[in-house]
């Protein structure tokens, strides 16, 4: 039966009419038009399909909406020559077959009245209420005379914002686009291609994210036929010829039914043929197609536990392909999809894919958010708390999309970013260390997590810990990671306004040579994001925020000039540096030796070296003996009044998970700042760490070393006494 509507006024309902198969309608639309001797009684089919899902539905409001739509569109025709009323009727039939509730069907009948007729939103509100009015307004296009070339992107922006409040808006739009794609053959080829491209880039990803697989797969096939006609015809020929090598799906389905019957498991086993695009992808992946490659087995059971019982029987009685097993029941997809996926091989080696789910899971898998019904319906007869509705259809990706679109004021930026965002078709969940969950697209980095959690506050991010280990902000996250973002203390300023540590390289993993400041350490204002962050940002929210900050702070793109060092204290021809006062010629430089990094109140001595510089060593440093043996005369050295100092420490430890995170936390708790860090590769289960630390007071050095020794796995912490052996 065609999805096209009847002539105006025909609204009779005949009992006993067979149910319309949405997939069969789509296949018919692809393979050719049905007979048009007469239009079907579409409003009757809408009523029958609606009652099949909602037996107690009140059809009076549908009849009322149909009368208004028919009268409003009377005299209008589609480009195919059919009365225009056939379009809203066909859209409503699609939604009715998916199980949409009465309010959605009412709005779908009226979805073009405000846009194409003299009916106003106020009239719709007065006749059908606020909900129907909101849905109709949500799918009504913006006028090109008002928006020009920006009409299409701004229409989608308006529709997405409306979808954020009521997901049924997008359900109607998807059904509307499906019927338009079915009847696109009357359009010029260039217009067909333009509409198909937008459908491919925007509508199909939205259908996937909302879980409406029945619409998504048919839209994919229709777009495939327009954008890749040669590949489509080749795939169509392959399906028509259908490979006969190996056992057929029917044979394996019989074996599976017998296996489950003998195990006393009540289950329905059906064959689900692959749609055109799925066959095309399988052919590219596998080359020659066998009989079992043209479809999958779908096993439907009553309860969740039965799904796992079926899985156990199949893996016991057939040879499982373990790499193909996926459990989307325990871990549902972000688009509400739940099912067990597996593949088993028969005696001759033919492999068949099997999907196992309950009948309710199957309904949601096909209809997605449409199957959830009215988000405004009270739960268990109780009104939602505080007057707010309980809407389970507001997924994380939609919340993120609504957030970043507010920053994309330019229509071109919005349109380009929307397509790029929707192209990322997988989602991961990561967990902030302070609780909660962040939903991010696959491939997201710590940069994306920072902006998802803190918004513009992420401009001051200086590093991250992933699963307790220090990581760069460019680290790609995987599903289930725990993320702690390290933020600078104080406001974010442009690089020329304040010093501080920032950038993608400020924090390193366990194999990195340098790390940035650690949480808990006092920080000056952070310099804000660097342009390199854009290379690692995957989410539109992060990219728009970073680009906005860089545009507002153009000086951040300049390399800041080095600030001159403050001169050390000079008294009567004596030069001081790093809290050291030394009797030296006026033009000589003074530096603390890196081999022993002396700190107050160490006994120290100095030696003149090449270039007229003075190097200050601890008295017990091995370099002092070497200098004396060479006949070098020592220089008098004393400590100044400043308490701050820098020291290098070696830590020897056994290798274990989270060791670096625990050590850096102990250092930060002691109030020390990490200037640089080096972790050598493990040798015989032992790891050597080298830290150069800035201490606010040398008196805290002993306590710091004790705190580091108390870290489990650390067996020695000592000051640098000599150059480390290679």
**Residue 640 contacts by C-beta under 8 Å, 6 or more apart in sequence?**
569, 576, 579, 580, 581
Determine the Cα–Cα distance for residues 649 and 693; give it in Å rounded to an integer.
Answer: 8
**If you write DSSP's letter for every residue of 570-632 in order, what string do you get?**
EETTEEEETTEEEE--TT--EEE-TTT---TTS-EEEEE-GGG-EEEEETT-HHHHHHHHTTP
Cα–Cα distances (Å) from 515 to 468, 536, 625, 686, in that order, read 14, 19, 34, 21
Determine the Cα–Cα distance for residues 485 and 451; give it in Å rounded to an integer.
Answer: 10
- Dump strand ranges (E) for 314-397: 319-320, 326-327, 340-345, 351-358
Q: Which helix (H) or strand (E) holds 677?
A: strand 673-679
Prior bond of 319 cis (ω within 30°): no
Question: What are the residue numbers of the active site?
Answer: 115-116
**Residue 200 contacts by C-beta under 8 Å, 6 or more apart in sequence?**
223, 227
Question: Is 430 in contact with 440 (CB distance < 8 Å)?
Answer: yes
Question: Is 293 in contact with 243 (CB distance < 8 Å)?
Answer: yes
Cα 649 to the chain's mean position, in Å? Answer: 41
With 0-12 / 13-18 / 19 or more C-beta atoms within 10 angstroms meaning exposed / middle / buried, residue 470 is buried
Comparing CA positions, the residue from 578, 598, 572, 581 lying closest to residue 635 is 581
Determine the Cα–Cα distance for residues 489 and 221; give it in Å rounded to an integer.
Answer: 54
Do β-strands 604-608 and 634-635 pair in parallel, antiparallel, or remain unpaired?
antiparallel
Comparing CA positions, the residue from 639, 688, 696 lying closest to residue 667 is 696
**If you write DSSP's letter for every residue of 459-489 in order, what string do you get?**
GGEEEEEETTEEE-TTPBP-TT-EEEEEE-S
According to DSSP, the residues that pair with 717 across neighbouring strands are: 651
Question: Is 412 in contact with 153 (CB distance < 8 Å)?
Answer: yes
Comparing CA positions, the residue from 36, 95, 43 lying closest to residue 65 is 43
């Amino acid at each position: 039966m065609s999805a096209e509507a009847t002539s105006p006024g025909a609204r009779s309902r005949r009992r006993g009419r067979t149910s319309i198969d949405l997939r069969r309608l789509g296949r018919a639309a692809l393979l050719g038009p049905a007979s048009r001797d007469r239009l079907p009684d579409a409003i009757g089919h809408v009523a029958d399909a609606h009652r099949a899902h909602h037996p107690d539905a009140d059809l009076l409001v549908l009849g009322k909406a149909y009368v208004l739509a028919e009268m409003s569109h009377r005299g209008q025709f589609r480009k195919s020559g059919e009365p225009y009323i056939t379009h809203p009727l066909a859209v409503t039939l699609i939604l009715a077959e998916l199980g949409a509730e009465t309010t959605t069907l009412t709005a779908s009948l009226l979805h073009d009245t405000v846009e194409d007729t003299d009916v106003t939103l106020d009239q719709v509100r007065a006749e059908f209420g606020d909900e129907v009015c909101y849905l109709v307004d949500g799918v009504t296009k913006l006028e090109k005379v008002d928006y020009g070339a920006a009409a299409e992107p701004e229409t989608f922006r308006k529709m997405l914002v409306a979808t954020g409040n009521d997901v049924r808006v997008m359900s109607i739009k998807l059904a509307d686009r499906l019927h338009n794609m079915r009847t696109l053959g009357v359009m010029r080829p260039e217009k067909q291609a333009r509409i198909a491209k937008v459908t491919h880039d925007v509508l199909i990803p939205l259908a996937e994210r909302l879980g409406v697989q029945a619409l998504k797969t048919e839209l994919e096939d229709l777009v495939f036929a327009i954008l890749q006609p040669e590949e489509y015809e080749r795939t169509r020929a392959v399906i028509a010829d259908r490979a006969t090598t190996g056992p057929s799906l029917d044979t394996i389905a019989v074996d599976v039914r017998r296996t489950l019957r003998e195990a006393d498991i009540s289950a329905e086993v059906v064959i689900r043929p692959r749609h055109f695009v799925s066959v095309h992808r399988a052919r590219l992946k596998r080359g020659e197609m066998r009989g079992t490659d043209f479809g999958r087995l779908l096993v439907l059971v009553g309860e969740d536990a039965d799904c796992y019982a079926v899985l156990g029987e199949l893996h016991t009685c057939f040879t499982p392909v373990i790499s193909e097993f996926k459990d989307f029941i325990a871990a549902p997809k972000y688009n509400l999809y739940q099912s067990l996926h597996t593949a088993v091989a028969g005696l001759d080696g033919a492999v068949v894919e099997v999907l196992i789910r309950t009948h309710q899971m199957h309904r949601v898998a096909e209809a997605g958010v449409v199957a959830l019904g009215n988000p405004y319906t009270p739960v268990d007869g109780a009104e939602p708390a505080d007057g707010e509705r309980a809407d389970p259809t507001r997924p994380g990706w939609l919340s993120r999309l609504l957030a970043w679109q507010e920053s994309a004021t330019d229509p071109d930026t919005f349109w380009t970013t929307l397509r790029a965002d929707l192209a990322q078709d997988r989602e991961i969940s990561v967990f902030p260390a302070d609780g909660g969950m962040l939903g991010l697209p696959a491939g997201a980095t710590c940069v994306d997590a920072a902006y998802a959690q803190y918004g513009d506050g992420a401009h001051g991010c200086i590093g991250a810990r992933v699963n307790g280990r220090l990581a760069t902000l460019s680290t790609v996250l995987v599903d289930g990671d725990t993320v702690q973002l390290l933020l600078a203390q104080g406001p974010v300023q442009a690089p020329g306004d304040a010093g501080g540590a920032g950038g993608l390289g400020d924090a390193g993993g366990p194999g990195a040579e340098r790390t940035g400041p650690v949480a808990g350490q006092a920080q000056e204002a952070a310099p804000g994001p660097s342009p390199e962050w854009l290379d690692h940002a995957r989410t539109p929210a992060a990219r728009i925020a970073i680009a906005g900050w860089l545009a507002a702070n153009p000086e951040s793109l300049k390399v800041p000039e080095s600030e001159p060092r403050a001169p050390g204290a000079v008294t009567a021809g004596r030069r001081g540096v790093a809290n050291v006062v030394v009797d030296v010629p006026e033009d000589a430089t003074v530096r603390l030796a890196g081999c022993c990094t002396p700190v107050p109140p160490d006994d120290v001595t100095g030696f003149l070296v090449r270039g007229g510089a003075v190097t200050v060593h601890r008295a017990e440093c091995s370099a002092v003996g070497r200098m004396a043996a060479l006949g070098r005369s020592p220089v008098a050295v004393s400590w100044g009044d400043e308490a701050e100092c820098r020291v290098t420490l070696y830590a020897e430890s056994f290798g274990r998970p989270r060791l670096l995170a625990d050590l850096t936390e102990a250092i930060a708790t002691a109030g020390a700042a990490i200037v640089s860090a080096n972790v050598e590769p493990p040798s015989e289960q032992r790891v050597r760490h080298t830290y150069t630390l800035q201490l606010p007071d040398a008196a805290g050095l002993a306590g710091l070393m004790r705190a580091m020794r108390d870290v489990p796995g650390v067996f020695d912490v000592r000051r640098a006494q000599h150059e480390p052996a290679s």
